[in-house]
Amino acid sequence: MIEWKNVHTVEIPKGIKVSESSGHITVEGKLGKVSRTFRDNYVKIEYDGKSVKVSITKDNKYTKGISGTWASEIRKAITGVQEGYQSTMKIDYTHFPTRVSVRGNLVVIENFLGERSQRTAEIIGQTKVAVKGDKVTINGVDKKDIGETAANIERATKIRGFDPRVFQDGIYPIENEVGE
């Protein structure tokens, strides 16, 4: 029989609902829900109604690292459904004024470096994007989705073939914070 050793315990605050079934965890709160799937032969997750326990069978660097990562993912999901996450990006341009707008699940960047064609970036998951002046604000409950959306926007404005120290036009992240 396998002996499981409890390594991390994540307490669940009031107002948060957690459901777990065979490595799939869903955390629900006032702002929404976040789902994650965790699969490993040496690490398991158990939910007992008040806390989530991350346990390991082998005591080595790999299993300790995975268990810590999983516990951190669960804590981030709890924070996201309670308070939410926000990322702010700044639109920088030198000569041609860049116009940014949101259409459906795409961020549309027009007149970037005077280009006639528009560039687009995909909005991931249930993330909300708002543009006000030279700031782009990304809100949501899933920190991974917010980060991926910000990376898509930054990647869409990458200038290939030019020195980025000289040509600094683009949309860059300036602030990440908890709370919407």
Q: Which is higher by pLDDT, 136 or 160?
A: 136
Tens-digit pLDDT profile for residues 35-46:
999 998 888 888
CA distance 149 to 157: 13
- Burial of 6 from C-beta contacts in 10 A (0-12 / 13-18 / 19+): exposed
Angle (nearest 5°) at CA 25 between 179 and 48: 100
Q: Domains of the chain, with CATH numbers? A: 5-83 (3.90.930.12), 85-178 (3.90.930.12)
Indicate the pLDDT class of residue 164, thresholds 50, 70 and 90.
Answer: confident
- Which pLDDT score, from 0 to 100, does residue 172 have? 94
Tens-digit pLDDT profile for residues 129-150:
999 999 999 999 999 999 999 9
| 1 has pLDDT over 70 | no
Torsion region of 158: left, alpha or beta (phi above 0 gives left; psi -120 to 50 gives alpha): beta
Considering Cα of 57, then 61, then 63, then 64, what sign does the dihedral take?
Answer: positive
